[in-house]
Structure 1
Amino acid sequence: MPLLHVGRNLTPRQPVEIARIGNRYRVTRPWHPGLRPFVRGYAGYAESEVTPYQVRLIPSGRAVLVISLAEPFTQVRRLGAAGPGSGRIGSLVTGLESAPAVCEHPGGQEAIRVEFTPLGAYRLFAMPMAELTNRVVELADVLGPGTGELVERLATTDDWTARFDLLDAALLARIDGGPDPAPEVGQAWRLLADSCGAVPIARLADEVGWSQKHLIRRFTEQVGLTPKLSARVLRFHRAVELLGRGAGTPAEIAALCGFYDQAHLNREFRALGDTTPGRLAAARRVEGALTL
């Protein structure tokens, strides 16, 4: 389905809120009710001055769409992966991740960033999510005809309320026509997400009435990661959030999140974030990324 096909009439809703954080303006408003089951974050942002930057991206259990309205990224590079990275890239899509990446930008950025649940992304992108796992892909390569026109219209629209209305309409039309995930996969994902990765795979299979082998195959296709790796990422993400809020010491958070001990927590932070709990707790968070 072309991205600009609009299947429902939308009226402008409440105005946006703009906050200044350092040299960046962050623009938000509650996202459309029709997007609530599928979206976990939705914000625009613009730099008040041109400042090159490099940030660390870490696994979160979410897929991400970034619409670049000004300068493109210099590159996005997966740590530990072969190859030079994405190279110069503007609007992009990332699937679920199980390894950290480094994102570089020359400054002067203006963009909209939307975070999706894996099954929301499956409906939006209408493709096996495993094909996007640990990848950074040009938006047009995923969403197809009309992508460039939509990005241009968003970039030439100065009013953020109008921008969000336009993007809402495009996303809703695309999701309305997207594939339905298997109910069993949806149930398994909810059990994992609600427990922050604490439900064993054998119990997931029992709950949904599938064999473990069949669950792993269908889940990986529609979510992007295996159930076991999804649980690992969700547990890590919860620990990151708790550390960021100062909700306890690393040892306390290790116990809260179901790690064997603090040493286990430390190993997971190295494997999934290429950092330590202490460094991550001190990092500045910028739109899902970390300035370490």
Structure 2
Amino acid sequence: MDREVGRGGGVDRDVTVSRTGGLRRVTRPPHPALQPYLCGRIGYSHLAPAYEVRMVPTGHVRLTLSLAEPFSQIRRLGMPGAGTGRIGSVVVGMEDRPAWCAHAGGRQEVIRLEFTPLGAYRLLALPMRELTNLAVELDDVLGAEAGVLVERLAAARGWAARFDLVDAMLLARLGRGPEPAPEVEHAWCLLSESAGTVPIARLADEVGWSPSYLVRRFTEQVGLTPKTSARVLRFHRATQLLASGPVDLAEIAASCGFYDQAHLTREFRALAGLTPGRMATATRPADEALAL
């Protein structure tokens, strides 16, 4: 673990660099005004061999700024079509099924942002249902602004300058993005804070809307229905427990709100294409960084 040296020779104490083999990970907290909208941010660079990585639903929206070789393709499992083809900087919307991300190898230099769905609604300024289960070129979301940003990031001297550019872009968009409906925000908070275990019938009662109206507004601003969002959040919590070490699957099922272990296994097959046991052993330590 080390710190990045700035242009003047000083050390930027907010930028943290770690290395695993040839993979270099770089982090810095986002601007305080952006923190409510971001779940995570990481930069990474390395000379990558060809690889494929399984992507599973997380309850987040991802924006990946690619400054070197593009990804070969992203292919959503269980959906028609052969995949995206070569794709560089990309936005991946809310998901309720797995996908494959492939890279042909070569130099990778990436900044990846993970937004809350309502943060993405505010900062990307479009209905989140338009991105559900899709991976789209950043140009299609931000227009000409995307190309200018990527060029400036590639030319920047150091990761601190890159993070400054990203923060400036997001802060500018924050000032003109749409405000989520307070009712949708409250419903999402109830779901996310409970990891998807709040009964769906309670959400409409809590916000004072009819169930059908809640579903319509929630899906527009989050990208998934409340029921599907709850499934994804329960699944994501279960994957975190699986990754923490040897655990009892029946205990995970009970603690995450599944009816039983069989229900847990069915949900893992639907959302990840794997059983919980295979999920626990299928991911390499570097996969999280390499995926979109």
Q: TM-score, normalised by structure 2?
A: 0.92
Contact 2:14 2:29 in 1 (8 A): no
Contact 1:58 1:289 in 2 (8 A): no
Contact 1:56 1:289 in 2 (8 A): no
- State yes or no: 1:149 paired with 2:145: no
The whole-number CA distance in structure 2 between the counterparts of 1:185 and 1:77 is 30
Contact 1:95 1:132 in 2 (8 A): yes
The whole-number CA distance in structure 1 between the counterparts of 2:73 and 2:218 is 30
The whole-number CA distance in structure 2 between the counterparts of 1:55 and 1:238 is 20
Name the aligned partner's letter for residue 160 of structure 2.
Answer: T
Name the counterpart of 2:271: 272
Secondary structure of 1:109's aligned partner: strand
Deviation per residue, 1:163-191 (Å, 9 max, x gap): 00111010111122100000000000000
The whole-number CA distance in structure 2 between the counterparts of 1:15 and 1:33 is 13
Structure 2 counterparts to residues 188-203 of structure 1, below 5 A: 188-203=187-202
Contact 1:192 1:198 in 2 (8 A): yes
Q: TM-score, normalised by structure 1?
A: 0.92
Name the counterpart of 1:239: 238
Give structure 1 stretches of 5+ with no counterpart.
Answer: 1-11
The whole-number CA distance in structure 1 between the counterparts of 2:226 and 2:215 is 6
Deviation per residue, 1:224-247 (Å, 9 max, x gap): 000000000000000000100126
Deviates more, 1:273-282 or 1:34-43: 273-282
Contact 2:25 2:44 in 1 (8 A): yes
Name the counterpart of 1:66: 64
Contact 1:255 1:261 in 2 (8 A): yes
Structure 2 counterparts to residues 124-139 of structure 1, below 5 A: 124-139=123-138
> What is the deviation of 1:212?
0.5
Name the counterpart of 2:8: none
Contact 2:53 2:287 in 1 (8 A): no
Structure 2 counterparts to residues 24-39 of structure 1, below 5 A: 24-39=23-38
Deviates more, 1:169-178 or 1:183-192: 169-178
Secondary structure of 1:77's aligned partner: strand
Secondary structure of 1:169's aligned partner: helix
Deviates more, 1:26-35 or 1:219-228: 26-35
Name the counterpart of 2:49: 51
Q: 1:196 to 1:29 in 2, by over 3 A?
A: same
Q: 1:240 to 1:151 in 2, by over 3 A?
A: same
> What is the deviation of 1:33?
0.5
Give structure 2 stretches of 5+ with no counterpart.
Answer: 1-10
The whole-number CA distance in structure 1 between the counterparts of 2:272 and 2:21 is 24
> RMSD of the alignment, in Å?
1.6
Name the aligned partner's letter for residue 234 of structure 2.
Answer: R
The whole-number CA distance in structure 2 between the counterparts of 1:24 and 1:289 is 9
> What is the deviation of 1:158?
3.2
Name the counterpart of 1:174: 173
Name the counterpart of 1:284: 284
Q: Percent identity?
A: 62
Name the counterpart of 1:120: 119
> What is the deviation of 1:217?
0.4
Structure 2 counterparts to residues 157-236 of structure 1, below 5 A: 157-236=156-235
Deviates more, 1:248-257 or 1:33-42: 248-257
> What is the deviation of 1:30?
1.5
> What is the deviation of 1:284?
2.1
> What is the deviation of 1:145?
2.4
> What is the deviation of 1:13?
7.2
